[in-house]
Amino acid sequence: MRTKRLIVIVAGSNPLLKSKKLGIDARKPFRRWTNPGSFSEWSSFVKDVRTLAGTANLVKILDGIRQLDSMMDKPGENVVA
């Protein structure tokens, strides 16, 4: 459970419970692109990444990823099912 919760904290954003269904958006650096996009869309994405760099938000995300990495180094203790 701890591993699953940490994954949601690191990669998830805007949790919403509606009609007994949980919806979670992907956090900014983990969002999926559905199409190749235009130059202006990619330009705005690069700007978003640059503004994210050096923020407390990015530090929290990287901390969570490091925790997940260390959890995965210990097989059998924190298995994600």
From first to last of the 81 residues of the chain, give the pLDDT tens digit: 888 888 888 888 888 999 999 898 888 777 666 666 676 776 766 666 677 777 788 888 888 889 988 888 776 654 444
Cβ burial, residue 29 (10 Å; 0-12/13-18/19+): middle
Give every CB contact of residue 51 below 8 A, 6+ residues apart in sequence: none
Q: What's the start-to-end Cα distance of the chain, in Å?
A: 9
